[in-house]
């Protein structure tokens, strides 16, 4: 369902109202304890925001990516951290597009109601890194089951999710005609697998992100966990990855807006040398530049969402949106710390927390270099570099 501007503005207001229940102290405490913001995720779920992209027939609101972007942008612009929950939106999309009717009927209503969380996406591995096609986790069919062995890294929210979308190799790389073949996608019920071949180990990171390492040791899952056809998993995740990049780009725009608003307010308030620091152009210009950069990136994010919503191949737009928005948010983060001087480092201002959180997005879910390589090769026709 495509919403008009007034309806999108109404969503913004509703998300803002929800976020007001989760002020800076809430996030500071979670950050200090490296604790999962379960109350916030539950509130987002109960309000229906996390089921925005789930069709109405499965209990969601059947909205388009542009509305999902508005939700995640507002979460960030309000000072909250959507990283605790954003995966549900884009991972669910892969289930929706490529899952069987049985899988959709079984899981989508439970995800929409909040009875089950689908927050974990197991792609990255320690040895293959960005080279996804070289991943080593193997899934071998044995009768009505697949037996999984291998390891994932950076599987965020695995401890707080019931389901994991897992990419594993079903045919060895040297036995497939094209290296994009032979990878398969599975919807793993982690509740059943935990302690039965599945082990999760948290990784402590510079920000509160609930990320983990996941080990599969003869983990047996039913063959019915396979999404779509065996060997086609890489193709299936590509369109989900475009949605992920656009959504995360929208979060970066929200972050940038938070930093700009915070810096502007502080520059107006803080008086040094008998006047507000914001009257100095050396303080004003970085804020103004950051604002212009953010507005430009926002246009690309909206355009990418539109191309995706119209059913086009949004590969180039999604990548550009993610790169430009993550650079805009990181520039804004740095500017905000500089504007606050020493207070930018004090926990109670939230600036240092948001600064740490914003740093992630030029690296994950795909690093800037790989986006540039994609544009160089696939859009500009330059030779492949790797
Ligand atoms: C907090 C966090 C959460 C994450 N959550 C998830 C998750 O939920 N699920 C998941 O599957 N993954 C997740 N990731 C993984 C993330 O997607 C990867 O870290 C990211 O894609 C980069 O891969 P890498 O770390 O293996 O870096 P590498 O591939 O080792 O690359 C390291 C550096 O080298 C550069 N580089 C590599 N190859 C080239 C090249 N050919 N040309 C130019 N530069 C190159 C990269 O740009 C990068 O800067 C997460 C990561 C983090 C840090």
CATH number at residue 192: 2.40.110.10
Measured between alpha carbons, how far is 97 from 83 in angstroms, rounded to an integer? 23
Same domain for 260 and 166? Answer: no
- Ligand 1 contact, 240 CB (< 6 A): no
pTM of the predicted structure, to 2 decimals:
0.97
- Ligand 1 contact, 384 CB (< 6 A): no
Same domain for 256 and 353? Answer: yes
Closest CA to 157 of 195, 112, 209, 203: 209
- Ligand 1 contact, 43 CB (< 6 A): no
Same domain for 239 and 362? Answer: yes
- Ligand 1 contact, 355 CB (< 6 A): no
Q: Give, in degrees to the nearest 5, the angle at Cα 319 between 313 and 325.
A: 130
Instruction: Decide if 37 contacts 19 (C-beta within 8 A).
Output: no
Strand 163-169 and strand 145-153: pairing?
unpaired
Within 10 Å of residue 150's Cβ, how many Cβ atoms? Answer: 19
- Ligand 1 contact, 130 CB (< 6 A): yes
- pLDDT string in tens for the chain (386-residue length): 889 999 999 999 999 999 999 999 999 999 999 999 999 999 999 999 999 999 999 999 999 999 999 999 999 999 999 999 999 888 888 999 999 999 999 999 999 999 999 999 999 999 999 999 999 999 999 999 999 999 999 999 999 999 999 999 999 999 999 989 999 999 999 999 999 999 999 999 999 999 999 999 999 999 999 999 999 999 999 878 999 999 999 999 999 999 999 999 999 999 999 999 999 999 999 999 999 999 999 999 999 999 999 999 999 999 999 999 999 999 999 999 999 999 999 999 999 999 999 999 999 999 999 999 999 999 999 999 88
Residue 27 alpha carbon to ligand 1 centre in Å: 26
Residue 367 alpha carbon to ligand 1 centre in Å: 6
Same domain for 90 and 192? Answer: no
Measured between alpha carbons, how far is 120 from 82 in angstroms, rounded to an integer? 14
Show the domain range for 111. Answer: 5-117
Same domain for 194 and 330? Answer: no
Same domain for 239 and 365? Answer: yes
């Amino acid at each position: 369902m495509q919403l008009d501007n007034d309806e999108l503005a109404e969503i913004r207001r509703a998300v803002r109202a929800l976020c007001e229940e989760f002020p800076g102290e809430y996030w500071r405490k979670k950050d200090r304890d490296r604790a999962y913001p379960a109350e916030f995720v539950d509130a987002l779920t109960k309000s229906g925001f996390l089921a925005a992209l789930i069709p109405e027939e499965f209990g969601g609101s059947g909205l388009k990516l542009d509305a999902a972007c508005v939700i995640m942008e507002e979460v960030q612009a309000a000072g909250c951290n959507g990283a605790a929950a954003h995966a549900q939106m884009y991972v669910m999309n892969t289930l929706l597009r490529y899952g069987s009717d049985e899988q959709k009927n079984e899981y989508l209503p439970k995800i929409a109601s909040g009875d089950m969380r689908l927050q974990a996406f197991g792609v990255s591995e320690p040895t293959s890194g960005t080279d996804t096609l070289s991943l080593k986790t193997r899934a071998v069919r044995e009768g009505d089951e697949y037996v999984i062995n291998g390891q994932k890294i950076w599987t965020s929210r695995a401890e707080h999710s019931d389901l994991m979308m897992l990419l594993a190799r079903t045919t060895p790389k040297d036995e497939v005609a094209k290296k994009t073949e032979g990878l398969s996608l599975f919807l793993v019920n982690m509740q059943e697998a935990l302690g039965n071949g599945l082990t999760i180990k948290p990784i402590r990171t510079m920000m509160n992100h609930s990320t983990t390492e996941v080990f599969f040791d003869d983990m047996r899952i039913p063959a019915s966990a396979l999404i779509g056809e065996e060997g086609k998993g890489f193709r299936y995740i590509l369109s989900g990855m475009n949605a992920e990049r656009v959504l995360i780009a929208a979060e970066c725009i929200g972050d940038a807006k938070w930093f700009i608003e915070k810096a502007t307010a502080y520059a107006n308030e803080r008086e040094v040398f008998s006047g507000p620091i914001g009257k100095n152009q050396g303080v004003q210009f970085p804020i103004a530049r950051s604002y212009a950069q953010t507005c430009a990136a926002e246009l690309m994010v909206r355009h990418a969402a539109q191309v995706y919503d119209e059913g086009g191949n949004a590969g180039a737009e999604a990548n550009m949106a993610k790169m430009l928005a993550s650079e805009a948010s990181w520039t804004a983060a740095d500017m905000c710390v500089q504007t606050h001087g020493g207070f930018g480092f004090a926990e109670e201002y939230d600036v240092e927390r948001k600064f740490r959180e914003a740093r992630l997005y030029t690296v994950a879910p795909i690093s800037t270099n790989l986006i540039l390589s994609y544009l160089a090769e696939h859009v500009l026709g330059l030779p492949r570099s790797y």
